[in-house]
Amino acid sequence: MARASGPCQGAPDTGETPVLQNMQSEFVDLHCHSTASDGTLLPADVVRLAVRSGLSALALTDHDTIGGVAEAAAEAKKLGIDFLPGIEISAEYPSPGTMHILGYGVDPNSASLKRLTDQLIEGRDNRNPRIVAKLNEMNVAVTMDEWENEAKGNVLGRPQLAAILLRKGYVSSIKQAFDKYIGQGAPAYFDKERLTPKRALAMIRESGGLPVLAHPIQLRTTNDGQLDRIVKDLLDLGLAGLEIIHSDHDAAWVEKCTSLADRYGLLKTGGSDFHGTNKKDIELGVARGRRIPRELFDALTQRLAAGQRTSAG
Ligand code: AMP
Ligand code: ZN
Ligand code: FE
Ligand code: FE
């Protein structure tokens, strides 16, 4: 029988009563966002969806925060799915590309992680009022208070601001809010200060995590040699892995990143980059029709465990 290839199918179709509790699903998702950053599902709801989708492990990787990790971890424990705390950081990188670094297995209680997230939030706090001031100049009536209310105690991200502009009738879609006002190249766009790649990698390591280069396609390198050089440079700075499977990666990119990771002995990870309805076409556990094999999660957790043994010894 052919393996289930449809999205989010859990147990194999044997006609028998599924015994999910005793069976380890072959699939995981190691890159997703919750309301703690710019996703639309609560952290616990992302975990519930993962279970419904037949996944056996999940890593939550909100932008700049681990604010959703405790809730997700508790729900994962309750439902019997493996869980790994994660974070996603934007590093300094020349436009039009972007460099995002995932940090897996960071210790939520470590002082360096607190330093890291404080610094990232400060970058946003410096940027956000400039966006609002510019919008006001353009006769768009919106305030920082409204934005903070919309964020409900979570990280302030532009998608929430876009939602306010939509609700108030300044735009007819989230996309239009970015195109017309707050997206890259639009009049009320301001960049936030970013960490250098060196610092991002070091701080993830100091927080007990493993740094992984997210969706390498978004670097927008113009040839394979350039990509190879960047990965090599990051490796020298402590990079531990490459995200090979991602919703932006077609088969050629999955293959390219796989051989690059193998060449440098890097871990391979994969995830959907699920954001709930903020990215409507992305389903949890599915990256461009591809699912993420459990073995990627196992290799990652084994490396983390080995690191802990080393640092404890
Ligand atoms: P921020 O972290 O506040 O800079 O906001 C970044 C988030 O805004 C991204 O993670 C996307 O979810 C969203 N975003 C950025 N550019 C666009 C765009 N052109 N259209 C829709 N969403 C966007
Ligand atoms: Zn996002
Ligand atoms: Fe990203
Ligand atoms: Fe992401």
User: Per-residue pLDDT averaged across 41-69, rounded?
Assistant: 97
Q: 158: Cβ below 6 Å to ligand 1?
A: yes
Q: Ligand 1 pocket, 274 CB below 6 A? A: no
Q: How far apart are CA 182 and CA 188, in angstroms?
A: 5
Average of per-residue pLDDT values in the chain: 92
Of 73-82, 134-143, 146-155, 292-301, which gets the smallest average pLDDT?
146-155
| CA-proximal residue: ligand 1, atom 20 (nearest) | 175
Query: What is the DSSP track for 116-136?
Result: HHHHHHHHHHHHHHHHHHHHH
For residue 181, the 8-state DSSP code is: I
Share of the chain above pLDDT 90, in %: 85
- DSSP three-state, residue 105: coil
Residue 86 Cα to ligand 1 midpoint, Å, equals 19
> What are the pLDDT digits (tens) for 106-157?
999 999 999 999 999 999 999 999 999 999 999 999 999 999 999 998 989 9
Contacts 24+ apart (CB under 8 A), 228-233: 228/260, 231/260, 231/264, 231/266, 232/264, 233/197
Residues 162-182 have a mean pLDDT of 96
- The Cα 146–Cα 164 span in angstroms is 8
Mean pLDDT value of segment 45-60: 98
pLDDT over 80 at 178, yes or no: yes
Q: Is the CB of 123 under 6 A from ligand 1?
A: no
Q: Mind listing the pLDDT tens digit for each residue in 195-251?
A: 999 999 999 999 999 999 999 999 999 999 999 999 999 999 999 999 999 999 999
Report pTM: 0.89
**Residue 19, pLDDT score:** 46
